[in-house]
């Protein structure tokens, strides 16, 4: 948290807010004593009546600190940030109890003022729980349920084949190819638009808008999130830089919403549109309200899908570089089941259990959203003897769940074998925490899983991923560090990607030729 941002409101505003918080805090304590309410979940003691536990919260890798707190305070950790109750859920079992078994109470999203100021409240994943969200969710379920997602496999196959060609011709750009394939799949599926391999306008637009969103949404990250009344300050007022920032982001957000759908409408009008999800929806819409929902749902998929799945594919390249034994076992299975004369397809999925286990381990080892996506309580509740106030913000600590040593032996090791039982068959652990919880479970999980699987199996079938070497011929193992964002990505690293056989080029070119004929 930047100290300059915290000091941006006038001293009078902070003094009044501080006095109000002090008064409210005193009244709450008095009422809890009077009515004998249970205590809040345990957590670090409050150090400042205004900022609460802000000093306890690290500026980076918060999920690691929350995991440390589990050892001291338990599975539920209570914090205060500017008067806001924050509860970190460190165990999968408690997450299921709260977010699934009590989903009617814990399916809301907290109010983050900057989301509204930046125009991101169109996003279905950020909407408050209610009728508007239900309308969006119904459409998402219709489009991305398991059966419907199978229809998108031809698009996924075509775009993955493009990625393989990119790896064959410019393997050093493997991160760019990872970003392109995920964006290409979702943009083609939603809008029927084939993106350019580099610097595509649609992709750049989404990346820029998402980058701005990340800077301003964590509760307490900006003064206006803590004191929403500040949104009424004029843009010229000292300390109102957040408002100028929000207006700039709002322009990006509006473009991300409007440009792709308007381009599709133009193609529909002149008869050049390719069949896609949004074209079918637009042709059957019956009202302006339906149009706005279609636009918002398409943009939500466009923004979210291109930022999360790519993280897993980037982690795949990193893990194969760092853990060559897992790569060898996966390739042995592919060679045994598929052979080396053709490309693996979705039809091979059930016959390749180690590839399935490897994909699960990618999701577990470095979960895309290590601190999950926040929930909020819409009513007060009593859980495990603790008082949960209405409006509390909940973070499911996915990292703690995925690295629980009681469940996963040596959790920092990348080990797909952990997903096999003593009978040699895949166990029932499908790392469900990777896709969220309850009514907020990611609706695009089936499509994401299919993209990850096909990317992993085809790359391993056709290429070797190896470590670079120094001047003396010694292998250089990547450090495996990650950026610190809502959706994490590996920091830049190097690896050497080479074809596994002489027939690799022919297989890739044949696949591209079949795609163009199709």
* Helix (H), strand (E), coil (C) string for 239-261: CCHHHHHHHHHHHHHHHHHHHHH
- 200 in the Ramachandran plot: left (φ > 0), alpha (ψ -120 to 50) or beta? beta
pLDDT in tens, 8-19: 333 233 333 444
- Predicted local distance difference test score (pLDDT) of residue 216: 67
Q: List binding-site positions.
A: 442
Hey, which residues does 388 pair with through a beta bridge? 381
- Predicted local distance difference test score (pLDDT) of residue 1: 36
Question: How far apart are the C-alpha atoms of 27 and 34, rounded to whole Å?
Answer: 10
Say if CB 400 and CB 372 are below 8 A apart.
no
Between CA 462 and CA 470, with CA 464 as vertex, the angle to 5 degrees is 155
In 397-418, which positions are buried (b, 16+ CB within 10 angstroms) versus exposed (e)? bbbbbbbeeeebeebeebbbeb
- Predicted local distance difference test score (pLDDT) of residue 6: 31
Spell out, as residue ranges, where the chain has pLDDT lower than 50. Answer: 1-19, 22, 33-34, 219-220
User: CB burial class (10 A; 0-12, 13-18, 19+) of residue 129?
Assistant: buried
Task: Tally Cβ neighbours within 10 Å of residue 342.
Answer: 13
Kindly state the tokens that stand for 251: 């322009």
Kindly state the tokens that stand for 338: 């598929």
Hey, which residues does 464 pair with through a beta bridge? 498
Q: Which helix (H) or strand (E) holds 403?
A: none
Question: How far apart are the C-alpha atoms of 379 and 400, rounded to whole Å?
Answer: 26
Strands 84-89 and 393-396 turn out to be parallel
- Predicted local distance difference test score (pLDDT) of residue 2: 34
- Predicted local distance difference test score (pLDDT) of residue 481: 95
Question: How far apart are the C-alpha atoms of 258 and 278, rounded to whole Å?
Answer: 13
Per 3-state DSSP, what percentage of the chain is helix, strand, and coil (rounded to 5)? 60, 10, 35
Say if CB 387 and CB 37 are below 8 A apart.
yes
User: CB burial class (10 A; 0-12, 13-18, 19+) of residue 215?
Assistant: middle
Q: pTM for this one? A: 0.89
Q: List binding-site positions for heme.
A: 442
- Predicted local distance difference test score (pLDDT) of residue 314: 97
The Cα-based distances of 109 to 377, 407, 433 in angstroms read 8, 29, 18
């Amino acid at each position: 948290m930047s100290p300059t941002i915290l000091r941006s409101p006038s001293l009078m505003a902070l003094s009044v807010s501080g006095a109000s918080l002090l008064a409210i805090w005193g009244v709450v304590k008095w009422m809890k004593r009077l009515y004998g309410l249970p205590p809040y979940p345990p957590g670090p003691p409050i150090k400042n009546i205004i900022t609460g536990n802000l000093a306890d919260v690290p500026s980076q890798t918060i999920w690691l600190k929350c995991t440390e707190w589990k050892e001291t305070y338990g599975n539920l950790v209570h914090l205060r940030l500017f008067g806001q109750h924050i509860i970190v859920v460190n165990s999968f079992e408690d997450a299921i109890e709260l977010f699934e078994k009590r989903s009617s109470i814990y399916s809301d999203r907290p109010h983050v003022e900057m989301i509204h100021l930046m125009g991101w409240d169109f996003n279905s994943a950020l909407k408050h729980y209610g009728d508007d969200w239900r309308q969006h969710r119904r459409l998402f379920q219709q489009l991305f349920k398991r059966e419907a997602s199978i229809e998108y496999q031809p698009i996924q196959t075509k775009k993955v084949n493009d990625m393989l060609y990119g790896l064959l011709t410019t393997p050093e750009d493997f991160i760019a190819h990872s970003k392109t394939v995920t964006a290409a799949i979702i943009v083609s599926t939603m809008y029927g638009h084939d993106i350019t391999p580099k610097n595509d306008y649609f992709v750049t637009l989404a990346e820029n808008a998402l980058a701005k969103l990340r800077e301003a949404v964590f509760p307490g990250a900006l003064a206006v999130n803590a004191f929403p009344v500040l949104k009424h300050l004029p843009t010229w007022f000292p300390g109102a830089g957040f408002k100028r920032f929000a207006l700039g982001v709002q322009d990006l957000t509006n473009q991300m919403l409007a440009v792709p759908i308007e381009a599709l409408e133009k193609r529909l009008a002149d008869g050049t549109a390719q069949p896609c999800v949004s074209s079918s929806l637009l042709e059957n819409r019956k009202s302006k309200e339906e149009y706005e929902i279609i636009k918002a749902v398409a943009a939500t998929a466009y923004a979210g899908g291109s930022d999360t799945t790519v993280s897993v594919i980037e982690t795949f390249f990193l893990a194969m570089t760092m853990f060559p034994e897992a790569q060898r076992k996966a390739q042995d299975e592919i060679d045994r089941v598929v052979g080396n004369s053709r490309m693996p397809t979705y039809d091979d999925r059930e016959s390749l259990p180690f590839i399935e286990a490897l994909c699960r381990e990618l999701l577990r080892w470095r979960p895309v959203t290590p601190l999950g996506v926040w929930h909020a309580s819409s009513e007060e509740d009593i859980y495990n003897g603790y008082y949960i106030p209405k409006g509390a913000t909940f973070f499911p600590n996915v990292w703690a769940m995925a690295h629980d040593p009681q469940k996963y032996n040596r959790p920092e090791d990348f080990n797909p074998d952990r997903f096999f039982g003593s009978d040699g068959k895949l166990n029932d652990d499908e790392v469900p925490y990777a896709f969220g919880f309850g009514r907020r479970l990611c609706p695009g999980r089936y499509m994401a899983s299919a993209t990850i699987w096909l990317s992993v199996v085809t790359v391993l079938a056709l290429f070797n991923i190896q470590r670079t070497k120094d001047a003396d011929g010694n292998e250089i193992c990547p450090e495996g560090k990650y950026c610190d964002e809502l959706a994490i990505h590996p920091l830049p690293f190097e690896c050497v990607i080479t074809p596994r056989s002489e027939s690799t080029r022919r297989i890739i070119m044949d696949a591209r030729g079949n795609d163009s004929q199709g």
